[in-house]
Structure 1
Amino acid sequence: EGLALFSAATAATDPALVTAKINYSALRSLEVPAKLSLLAGRVTRQSASTAAVSASSSLARQLSGLPEEERLNAVVALVKEKVAGVLGYGSADAVEADRAFHDLGFDSLAAVELRNVLGTVTGLRLPATLVFDYPTSAALAGYLYDQVSGTAGREERYEASPVSTDEPIAIVGMGCRYPGGVSSPEELWQLVIDGADAIGRFPADRGWDLAQIYDPTGERPDTSYTREGGFLADAADFDPGFFGISPREAMIMDPQQRLLLETSWEALERAGIDPTTLKGSPTGVFAGVMYHDYMGSASTGAIVSGRVAYTLGLEGPALTVDTACSSSLVAIHLAAQALRRGECTLALAGGVTVMATPETLIEFSRQGALSRDGRCKAFAASADGTGWSEGVGVLV
């Protein structure tokens, strides 16, 4: 509003102006000096209100003159045109209907400007959070169409409806990445069939001082007497643009967030579900996460499940579970309970572990609780300690 007043002032020929938003009704209730009497004169908003109704009715009339199947497309075209104008794009064709406004270049100032432009064109009273509530041209057009056509507020609301406790939980999709180059359920099964060894040397792409960390004697402080474990070779790989995430934000994202996001997407595709169609659905996210050693606040466990829910637009429960080694198992248990209670109709459940630092290995070496060769030998006479490994697995 301030910028609109400023623009009006610079276009005027008056020598001295004050741009202000005035509460006329409050001003008229006071005794004002004669020179201000014109300001406090009888002001009516009838003309503005009438203009708003007229504009809205005009848009409704335009839509009513089109076949029903073309009306929404007409509103999408209108929104794209105004978005292009606000952002300075050459034409509406440069604006992708499903691309997030944030990616197109919107900031808070442009968001308010678009709200004002669309308010003028449609005659609707639009919220200041319009662009954030409906973050794409397609979503925004759908909202405007509902408002103008009188269908607003008719959306279906999900109500929890518990199901029988003996109702089986169906696993319809899975995504995973594990040491040994495993990047799919099929490759995981093949690893088991082959009896392959997935344990390998410490990763060289994480900034670890490998020469300093390793001490086979275990006598030097802050070292590990093993240099092997189960590590993901591609833990640092990520395509932020695919998810509409800026490179700068991706840099501070815990790799566990990146991997869970990618694997959740893959698991949904393997279930035959287009992940983009779940926006607004009562789909839950249950993630087991026990490592929180990435830099800064970006490693906060709660963000991991929230990242998936936010990116995909899921509106079911979003829980990050940390019960140490049982985290993923508990997450799956809670997901099954939520489904049976009707708290969600679909759930992503699993867990992720990435060792961003070697601290756990160093600490268990200090305790003498780490296996010498980095391998667990459960129930064997040769068992000599634990071995640490990474991975991510998600069930749908």
Structure 2
Amino acid sequence: MNRKDGFMAELSPLQQALLTIEKLQKKLATASNGEREPIAIIGMACRFPGGATSPAKFRELLWGAGEALTEIPSDRRALQGLYDPDPSRPGKLSMRRAGFVDEVDRFDAEFFHISRREAEGMDPQQRFFLEVSWEALEDAGIPPHQLQGTRTGVFAGVHAKDYAFITGGGLEKVSAHYSTGVDASYVPGRLSYLLGLEGPSMAVDTACSSSLSAVHLACQSLRTEESTLAIAGGVKLILAPQLSVFLSKAGALSPSGHCRTFDRDADGMVQGEGCGVVVLKRLRDAVRDGDRILATLRGTGMNHDGASGGLTVPNVGAQEALYRRVLQRAGIEPGQVDYLEAHGTGTRLGDPIELDGVSRVYGASRTPERPLWIGSVKPNIGHTEAAAGIAGLIKAVLVLQAGEAPPSINFEHPTPEFTWEGSGLAVPRARTPLAEKDGPHRVAVSSFGMSGVNAHALVEAYAEAAHAAVDAGPFVLPLSARSEPALRTLAVSWLRYVSEAGAGARLQDACFTAGAGRSHHAHRAVLVARTPEALRTALHAVAEGRDAPGVARGSSGGEPVFLFGDTEPEANRLMRELLGRDVFRVHAEKVDAVLRQVAGWSVIEQVAGAVS
């Protein structure tokens, strides 16, 4: 008998029971704390209509009250010629406008080590998710190749099967790449394979709530330590007419081609497309690792409508129950939430039901002077379905960063099918600052699937330590790509960033991340500048493919050249011998020319002068 067993034997049955209860209480407390542990958002990326190819561009679109809905573009041949204002016509669709992203047919397969033949069989949704996930990891300062062998999970919301429709046919058309090209499971699976990730990898299909459901599952995986890092998001492209025809027959699409969320003149949803991805990590791990934290997810959840008025009819009771459950899980009171990014599709059936549920939970105890602001991204970019929840989540982070809600477009007359007076809710018609408060600002995000699956999340602002302003250089910016044209394109992107960022503290951080937090490829350029203006000049040169002061260009793949800076006589003699070799001398002089501008003296002259 060990000491523990002997000690327990000496206790009375009542004392033993009390000790057992205390242990169970501690276990329950630990489990409860784990369930409430905040999840940090450390990176995000997106591609949405209207040129919103990054969160910064997405913010420009939203805060600029942009409506990125257009006529069907010419490259969507499967949709051409099918429009008819009469949705009862067989095989016709009443969609005339939607939110389309550009260049869905463009893909750098070589970058991802994918053959041209395999790339042609890939659903463009796979390509989009690969590219945007890569960008999100780089935004988090994580070189993707460093994740190989880690328990990084991938959770992808994906619903549409358009590519299978337009590439389908007889059995003779089935190739070796058919299943890997069109099956939804390969959207996350291909990313996990490419990067060598060994955490969970799953496609999530809950219709329009797919991506926010994926985020919820990613948070659960992190809290149970099944994953150490999680990549979560969703993707949707409109490539085939089948779903659009179905929505036309159901009377769900807007004849006017405008989404009017919560408005009296709302006449239906407008479809949209895009992709969004966030990189998630447990908050304590993100703080430990020194990650930049964009915001934290305090609570997430999902449920089903159960038996409602119809298979596709929302259930206000289920939505209300989900709100309360997520608030309880997060330990947050409804009145502490400042803004709610609603599902808000612009339909006369769904919008009033959603407003009712939000008002019951979040609107109580509000005053007209301090309402809960509520809006939706769908009037700007359309209903992106499987990517709708992630679009709302990225918008929520942008709201927290800006400290204000963007204007809600196409909102002129509040819907009379909801009682606004006394509801505690209000829709921002212009840029609206979040109310001043002692604690952090919080934003709620909702996403509801047509099949009845509801998802909800609470996002909280994270206050990082203030950065000291760093206006002076030098700035050392290393750039690399897998081809010379790609390097020039990268320089253009950096030129835009430097021009917009100015000379604030983040510019030096960005240069550091470019070197330490990015994967490095064969075609390279290193830019050294003392001022942001000089850095912009150097970037112009790289973008145009020409040489300039402060720019070193080249490609890797040859023998490495080492520059010894030791002052010992033996090291200096070795340096003199190496400088006598033409190959070493050429590269050493290039490095020395760059270092002269920063250090103000020549390494070669210093070493040569020390040689006895």
Instruction: Determine the C-alpha separation between the residues in 2 that align with 1:209 and 1:225.
Output: 11
Alpha-carbon distance between aligned partners in 2 of 1:276 and 1:268, rounded to the nearest angstrom: 10
In the TM superposition, residue 290 of structure 1 has moved relative to its aligned partner by 1.1
- Secondary structure of residue in 2 paired with 1:371: coil
Alignment of 1:231-246 (within 5 A): 231-246=100-115
- The answer on 1:189 being equivalent to 2:72 is no
The one-letter code sitting in structure 1 at the alignment partner of 2:116 is P
Residues 146-184 of structure 1: CA distance to partner in whole angstroms, max 9, x if unpaired?
xxxxxxxxxxxxxxx998333211111001000111100
Whether the 8 Å contact between 1:203 and 1:233 is mirrored in structure 2 is no
| Contact 1:374 1:388 (C-alpha < 8 Å) held by counterparts | no
Q: Look up the match of 2:38.
A: 168
Q: Which residue of 1 aligns with 2:584?
A: none
- The answer for the alignment partner of 2:73 in structure 1 is 203
1:240-389 → structure 2 map (5 Å cutoff): 240-295=109-164, 297=179, 298-389=181-272
Superposed CA offset, 1:183-204 (max 9, x none): 0000111111101001111132
Asked if 1:221 is matched to 2:90, the reply is: yes
Give, as a single letter, the amino acid of the residue that structure 2 aligns with 1:164: G
Instruction: Give the 3 Å change call, closer, same or farther, for CA 236–243 of structure 1 in structure 2.
Output: same
Structure 1: how far apart are the matches of 2:76 and 2:122? 14
Cα 1:208–1:167, aligned 2, differ >3 Å: closer, same or farther? same
Match in the other structure for 2:319: none
Deviation at 1:209, TM superposition (A): 5.3
Cα deviation code 1:129-159 (max 9, x no counterpart): xxxxxxxxxxxxxxxxxxxxxxxxxxxxxxx
Please state how far the C-alpha of 1:218 moved relative to its aligned partner.
3.7
- In 2, the alpha carbon distance for the partners of 1:233 and 1:394 equals 18
Gaps of 5+ in 1: 1-160
Question: CA offset at residue 282 of structure 1?
Answer: 0.7
- With over 3 angstroms needed to count, the CA separation of the structure-2 counterparts of 1:371 and 1:209, relative to structure 1, is closer
Letter in 1 for 2:152: T
Instruction: List per-residue Cα deviations over 1:225-269 (Å, max 9, x = no partner).
Output: 231101111222110000000010001101110000000000000
Partners in 2 of 1:395 and 1:368 — Cα distance? 33
For 1:367 and 1:329, locate their aligned partners in 2 and report how far apart those are by CA, in whole Å: 25
Query: What letter corresponds to residue 391 of structure 1 in structure 2?
Result: G
Contact in 1 for aligned 2:79/2:240 (Cα 8 Å): no
Deviation string, structure 1 residues 20-78 (Cα, Å, up to 9, x no partner): xxxxxxxxxxxxxxxxxxxxxxxxxxxxxxxxxxxxxxxxxxxxxxxxxxxxxxxxxxx
In structure 2, which of residues 261, 267, 278 is the aligned counterpart of residue 395 of structure 1? 278
AA at the equivalent of 1:374: G
Candidates 50, 58, 71, aligned match of 1:180: 50
- Greater strand share, 1 or 2? 2
Instruction: Describe the shift of the 1:357–1:209 C-alpha distance in structure 2 as closer, same or farther (beyond 3 A).
Output: closer
- Percent identical across equivalent pairs? 50
**Cα-to-partner distance string for 1:105-124 (whole Å, 9 max, x where unaligned):** xxxxxxxxxxxxxxxxxxxx
Spell out, residue by residue over 1:355-391, the C-alpha distance to the aligned partner (whole angstroms, 9 max, x if none). Answer: 2202222222223221113332222111111211101
- Counterparts of 2:50 and 2:273, CA distance in 1: 11
Q: Highest Rg: 1 or 2?
A: 1
* SS at structure 2 position matched to 1:284: strand
What's the CA shift for 1:328? 0.5
Output the amino acid matched with 1:204: S
Cα offset, 1:219, TM superposition: 5.1
Tell me by how many angstroms 1:286 deviates: 0.4
Deviations 1:206-234 (A, max 9, x none): 32252x21123445321122311011112
Using the alignment, how far apart are the partners of 1:215 and 1:269 within structure 2? 44
Inter-partner Cα distance in structure 2 for 1:187 and 1:325:
24
Matched to 1:302, the amino acid is S
Aligned twin of 1:105 = none
Q: Structure 2: how far apart are the matches of 1:310 and 1:356? A: 26
Deviates more, 1:374-383 or 1:322-331: 374-383
Write the letter of the residue equivalent to 1:260: F
One-letter identity of the residue aligned with 1:378:
T
Mapped to 1, the partners of 2:84 and 2:195 lie a distance apart of: 45
AA aligned opposite 2:112: F
SS of residue matched to 1:165: helix
Q: Which residue of 2 aligns with 1:85?
A: none
Q: Is the 8 A contact 2:46 2:54 kept in 1?
A: yes
1:280-314: CA deviations, max 9, x gaps? 11100001111112125322111111011111111
Q: CA RMSD in A?
A: 1.7
Distance 1:236 1:174, change over 3 A: same
Moved more, 260-269 or 384-393: 384-393
Q: Residue type matched to 2:122 in 1? A: M
Partners in 2 of 1:265 and 1:258 — Cα distance? 11
The amino acid of 1:367's aligned partner reads: A
SS, match of residue 277 in structure 2? strand
Query: Structure 1: which 4+ aligned runs deviate by more than 3 Å?
Result: 217-220
List alignment gaps of at least 5 residues for structure 2. Answer: 1-29, 169-178, 280-612
Distance 1:355 1:186 in 2: 24
Contact 2:158 2:234 in 1 (8 A): yes
